[in-house]
Amino acid sequence: MATTANIKNGAVILHKNKRMKIVEFLHVKPGKGPAFVRTKLKDIQSGKVIDETFNSGAKLQFILIEAKAMQYLYEDGNQYIFMDNQTYEQINVNDAVIGSNTGFLKAGLNVDLLFDGQEVLNVRLPVHVNLEVTHTEPGMKGNTATGATKPAILETGIEVNVPLFIDIGDVLKLDTRTGGYIERAKD
């Protein structure tokens, strides 16, 4: 069993019967009293971040998380179907695991699935995705300087705010971390 000396950012530990990812940590050695480790832990299932303090040298149970490159194929009810890029084996993932990222999944998109044994813990999307606008108010030339935005519905069904000059059929580059518009995709 490992101790607090083995803590690294991104490592996953079992804490209070939950899988927690270490977001950040700090070894603290006060003038009086024993040393300790102050951490921020993110619950992999819920996404909730908590602050936790461990005594220096405390035993921790680290979990080996495996990431596999997969390709998103299609949606079937509340299941999302992914294919292993090496073995071509298909895996069903429940929509609860994917959460709010479902609006960025487009057929053929390569993602990383994080596994603990056979259980899928999370879907890691690429930082940027390109999606086509299917509905928005007509764009107008010259509306580039104001910074005003309008809603647009994209091919996966999500709605984002875009600049006024965006038209139906434009392909947009989006940031999957924030869900925001970055720019029109280059051809």
Q: What is the pLDDT of residues 36-75, one digit of tens each?
A: 999 998 887 777 889 999 988 888 888 887 888 899 998 8
Are 6 and 59 part of one and the same domain? yes
Are 138 and 176 part of one and the same domain? yes
Residue owning tokens 């999944």: 105
Please give the structure tokens belonging to residue 160: 């984002």
Q: Which helix (H) or strand (E) holds 117?
A: none
Q: What is the pLDDT of residues 126-145, one digit of tens each?
A: 888 998 889 888 866 665 66
Longest dimension (CA), the chain: 67
| Interacting residues of 77 by C-beta distance below 8 A, sequence separation 6+ | none
Are 163 and 152 part of one and the same domain? yes
Q: Which CATH number characterizes residue 48's domain? A: 2.30.30.30
Out of 85-99, 134-148, 173-187, least confident range: 134-148
Tell me which of 29, 45, 63 is where a domain ends: 63
Please give the structure tokens belonging to residue 106: 């487009």
8 Å CB contact between 39 and 25? yes
Residue numbers of the domain that contains 75: 66-124
Are 27 and 43 part of one and the same domain? yes
Torsion of CA 10, 13, 19, 23, to 10 degrees: -30
Q: Which CATH number characterizes residue 172's domain? A: 2.40.50.140
Are 28 and 75 part of one and the same domain? no
8 Å CB contact between 159 and 149? no
Are 20 and 46 part of one and the same domain? yes
Number of folded domains that form the chain: 3
Tell me which of 19, 42, 63 is where a domain ends: 63
Q: What is the pLDDT of residue 142?
A: 62
Are 26 and 14 part of one and the same domain? yes
CA 148-154-155 angle, 5° bins: 165
User: How many whole angstroms separate alpha carbon 16 and alpha carbon 31?
Assistant: 30
pTM of the model: 0.69
Are 133 and 175 part of one and the same domain? yes
Tell me which of 46, 63, 80 is where a domain ends: 63
pLDDT-derived band of residue 147, with 50, 70 and 90 as boundaries? Answer: confident
Are 58 and 6 part of one and the same domain? yes
Q: Is the pLDDT of residue 10 over 80?
A: no
Are 108 and 138 part of one and the same domain? no
Q: What is the pLDDT of residue 139?
A: 66
Q: Is the pLDDT of residue 112 over 80?
A: yes
Q: What is the pLDDT of residue 140?
A: 65
- The gap from C-alpha 46 to its chain's centroid, in whole angstroms, comes to 12
Q: What is the mean pLDDT of the chain?
A: 85
